[in-house]
C-alpha cells in the first residue's frame, strides 16, 4: 500500500517562480490486440514494435497513438465554445476558424491559445498567408508530451479470423457467384482469412505535462487571461483526459479498441521551481521508483485505485488556485 498524502504540501512553494511541470512514470499491463498497428501486408496486420539499443525488439505503442487517445478524451471534456472549427470536428488541421474577437494584446498564436483548448494543449503548426497575402506562420509546442509505450517483456502473437458468407449455409460451389452488397469480389468464395496482432504486455509509459504553459502566450510572455478560474478549468480538463487515457485506454481499430487493463503502477513527480529536478528515468528499469524518489519528491501508486487517488491530488482546488495565483503574479512582475 502506497503512502498517498491527503493533500500536496505547498508550504515551501517558491514564490518567485512560475515553473510547474508534472510527470508520470507508469507501468501499465494490457491484454488485447491491435493496440497500435504498423502496416498491413496481404491479410496480415503488423503490430507496432521498437528496436532497443541492444537490438532487442519489443512490442510498442507510439507516443502519437497514445496522444491521439488523449486528444479524443480532451475533446470530450471540452465545450463547443472553447474549440476552433477544425477541432470541433476532430480534424488534424490547425487553421480552423476562431469564435472569439481578436485580442490585439496577444500574438496570433496567443489568440488561438485563448480560443481553443486543443490548440493550447496539443500544439499547432500553421504555415501560409493571411487574407491580405502577408506571411502568417503560427506555431506552438505541445503542453502534454507522451513517450512511447514500450513493453518490458511479452511475446508477439497473432489471432486468426475469417469472414464468412452466411448465404446458403456456406455451401456455394466454387464456381458460383457470391457477390453481394457487402462483397463485390466475384472470385471470392465463402470466406476470407486474416490475422491481427496480439500485443499483451506490460508497457512502460511516461507523460510530462507543463501546466505553467496552459493558457500562456509564449510569444508575448503573458497569460491570455489573468483569470484563475479560466486557467484552472483548462488544467482540470487536461488532468481528467490524462486519467481517462490511462484507465480507459483504447486500441487502434474501431472493432477491437477495448483491451483489458490488468494493472497500473508508477510515480508522480513535480517540478515547482527552477531549482527542483525532474528526470525522465524510464519505468522500464526495475529501480525506477527508487531513482525518482532519490532525485525528486515523488508520490508512488501501485494499483489503478491508487493512481486515481494521486490524480485527484492534482485536481484539488486549493492546490490549483495556489500555484495559478503565484504564476499570474510572477508573470506580471517579471515580464510585463
pLDDT in tens, 5-45: 999 999 999 999 999 999 999 999 988 776 776 666 667 66
Min mean pLDDT across 143-152, 248-257, 310-319 is at 248-257
Do residues 110 and 88 both lie within one domain? yes
* 95 and 126 both lie in a single domain: yes
Radius of gyration of the chain (CA): 24
What is the pLDDT averaged over residues 165-186?
A: 55
* 223 in any annotated domain: yes
Q: Does the pLDDT at position 171 exceed 70? A: no
Is 0.75 surpassed by the pTM of this model? yes
Identify the residue whose cell numbers are 532487442: 56
Query: What would the grid cell of residue 283 be?
Result: 519505468
Q: Decide: 112 and 140 in contact? Cβ < 8 Å.
A: yes
Contact 86, 51 (CB under 8 A): no
Does 38 share its domain with 107? yes
Please tell me the predicted confidence (pLDDT) of residue 78. 96
Q: What's 57's DSSP letter?
A: E
Residue 4 lies in a domain: no
Residue 281 lies in a domain: yes
Question: Each residue of 254-272: pLDDT tens digit?
Answer: 555 688 899 999 999 999 9
From the number of C-beta atoms within 10 Å of its C-beta (0-12, 13-18, 19+), residue 102 rates as exposed
Q: Is residue 277 part of a domain?
A: yes
pLDDT mean over 109-125: 94
Q: 314 and 233 in one domain?
A: yes
pLDDT of residue 154: 64
On whether both 193 and 218 belong to a single domain, the answer is: no
pLDDT given at position 30: 87
Same-domain pairing of 142 and 250: yes
Q: Which of the four pLDDT bands, split at 50, 70 and 90, describes residue 120?
A: very high
Q: At how many degrees (to 10) do helices 317-335 and 304-314 cross?
A: 40
Is residue 306 within 8 Å of residue 2, measured between CB atoms? yes
pLDDT tens for each residue of 75-100: 999 999 999 999 999 887 767 889 99
Q: Average model confidence (pLDDT) for the chain?
A: 86
- Separation between Cα atoms, residue 124 and residue 110, nearest integer Å: 11
79's grid cell: 465545450
Res 117 pLDDT > 60: yes
What is the structure's pLDDT at 138? 83
Q: DSSP 3-state assignment of 162?
A: strand
Provide, rounded to the nearest whole percent, the portion of the chain with pLDDT above 90.
Answer: 60
Domain extent, residue 187, equals 157-198
What pLDDT score does 260 carry? Answer: 86
Asked whether residue 184 falls in the same domain as residue 271, the answer is no
Domain shared by 104 and 165, yes or no: no
Residue 183 has pLDDT above 70, yes or no: no
Number of other CB atoms surrounding residue 25 within 10 Å: 27
Examine residue 103 and state whether it is found in any structural domain, yes or no.
yes
Q: CA 159, CA 34: separation in Å to the nearest integer?
A: 10
Provide mean pLDDT across the span 235-243.
98
| Same domain as 246, residue 105 | yes
| Confidence band for 57, pLDDT divided at 50, 70 and 90 | confident
**Pair (220, 271) in one structural domain:** yes
Indicate whether 308 and 263 sit together in one domain.
yes
Distance CA 203, CA 201 (A): 6
Per-residue burial over 74-98, b = 16 or more CB atoms within 10 Å of its CB, e = otherwise: bbebbeeebbbebbbeeeeebbbee
CA pair distance 54, 62, nearest whole angstrom: 19
* Cell triple for 111: 489568440
238: left (phi over 0), alpha (psi -120 to 50) or beta: alpha
Residues shown for the chain: 336
Q: Which of these ranges, 57-66, 112-121, 248-257, has the smallest mean pLDDT?
A: 248-257
Q: Residues 264, 141: one domain?
A: yes
In a domain, 8, yes or no: no
Give the DSSP per-residue string, 101-132: ---TTS-HHHHHHHH-HHHHHH-EEE-SB-TT
Q: Among 33-37, 40-44, 153-157, 204-208, which range has the highest average pLDDT?
A: 204-208
Higher per-residue confidence, 164 vs 246:
246
Amino acid at each position: 500500500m502506497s503512502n498517498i498524502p491527503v493533500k500536496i504540501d505547498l508550504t515551501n512553494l517558491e514564490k518567485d517562480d512560475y515553473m510547474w511541470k508534472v510527470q508520470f512514470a507508469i507501468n501499465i499491463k494490457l491484454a488485447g490486440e491491435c493496440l497500435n498497428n504498423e502496416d498491413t501486408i496481404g491479410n496480415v496486420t503488423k503490430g507496432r514494435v521498437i528496436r532497443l539499443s541492444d537490438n532487442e525488439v519489443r512490442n510498442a505503442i507510439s507516443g502519437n497513438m497514445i496522444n491521439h487517445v488523449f486528444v479524443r478524451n480532451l475533446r470530450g471534456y471540452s465545450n463547443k465554445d472553447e474549440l476552433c472549427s477544425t477541432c470541433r470536428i476532430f480534424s488534424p488541421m490547425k487553421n480552423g476558424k476562431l469564435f472569439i474577437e481578436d485580442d490585439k494584446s496577444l500574438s496570433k498564436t496567443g489568440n488561438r491559445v485563448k480560443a481553443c483548448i486543443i490548440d493550447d494543449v496539443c500544439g499547432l503548426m500553421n504555415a501560409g498567408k493571411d487574407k491580405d497575402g502577408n506571411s502568417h506562420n503560427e506555431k506552438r509546442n505541445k503542453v502534454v508530451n507522451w513517450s512511447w509505450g514500450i513493453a518490458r517483456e511479452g511475446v508477439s502473437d497473432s489471432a486468426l479470423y475469417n469472414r464468412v458468407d452466411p448465404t446458403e449455409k456456406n455451401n456455394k460451389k466454387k464456381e458460383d457467384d457470391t457477390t453481394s452488397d457487402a462483397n463485390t469480389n466475384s472470385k471470392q468464395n465463402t470466406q476470407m482469412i486474416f490475422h491481427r496482432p496480439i500485443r499483451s504486455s506490460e508497457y512502460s509509459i511516461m507523460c510530462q505535462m507543463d501546466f505553467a504553459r496552459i493558457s500562456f502566450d509564449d510569444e508575448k510572455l503573458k497569460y491570455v487571461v489573468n483569470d484563475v478560474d479560466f486557467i484552472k478549468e483548462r488544467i482540470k480538463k487536461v488532468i481528467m483526459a490524462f486519467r481517462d487515457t490511462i484507465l480507459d485506454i483504447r486500441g487502434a481499430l474501431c472493432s477491437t479498441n477495448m483491451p483489458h487493463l490488468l494493472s497500473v503502477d508508477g510515480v508522480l513527480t513535480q517540478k515547482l521551481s527552477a531549482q527542483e529536478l525532474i528526470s525522465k528515468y524510464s519505468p522500464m528499469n526495475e529501480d525506477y521508483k527508487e531513482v525518482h524518489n532519490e532525485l525528486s519528491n515523488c508520490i508512488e501508486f501501485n494499483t489503478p485505485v491508487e493512481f486515481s487517488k494521486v490524480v485527484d491530488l492534482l485536481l484539488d482546488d486549493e492546490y490549483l488556485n495556489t500555484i495559478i495565483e503565484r504564476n499570474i503574479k510572477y508573470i506580471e512582475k517579471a515580464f510585463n
